[in-house]
Amino acid sequence: MDERYEDRLERQEMNAQRLREENAARHALPCPECGSADGMQYYSRGGVLFVYQRWPPALIPRTWYYLPGDDHCVYAPCRTCNRAGAVEDAYQPVNDLDAWLESECQCEECIRERSAQ
């Protein structure tokens, strides 16, 4: 016996809702590559230098970002979970990456390390 049109529409809508819920749950999990749920890969100062020395130019991010109040790391969109390069409002572009690399980090951990030396 054939399925009624209304039953088929209801089943399709239930499947679409289930897929939306699964996608939402999947996006809430940390990315296996960058470890974040917001699609931004973090790089330390040494990590940025490594990228510029070892990566092909086509893979180097054009724009780097920072979080206000945190000068320990810079961020770039993750190539695995954020291919579109979406950046949340909290992230601000780094205007002068060279100046950031040359400056000393002012986070508590780095200050403790410098004072212990």
φ and ψ of 76, to 5 deg: -145, 150
Is 43 a member of any domain?
yes
pLDDT tens digit at each of 117 positions of the chain: 567 888 888 888 998 898 888 877 766 678 888 888 788 999 988 899 999 999 999 999 999 999 988 888 999 999 888 888 889 899 999 999 999 888 888 778 888 888 887
pLDDT of residue 53: 93
Q: CA 66, CA 90: separation in Å to the nearest integer?
A: 9
Structural domain range at position 45: 32-116
Q: Could you give the number of structural domains in the chain?
A: 1
Rounded to the nearest angstrom, the gap between the alpha carbon of residue 2 and the centroid of all alpha carbons in its chain is 48
Identify the pLDDT of residue 55: 93
Residue 88 domain flag: yes
CB 30 within 8 A of CB 36: yes
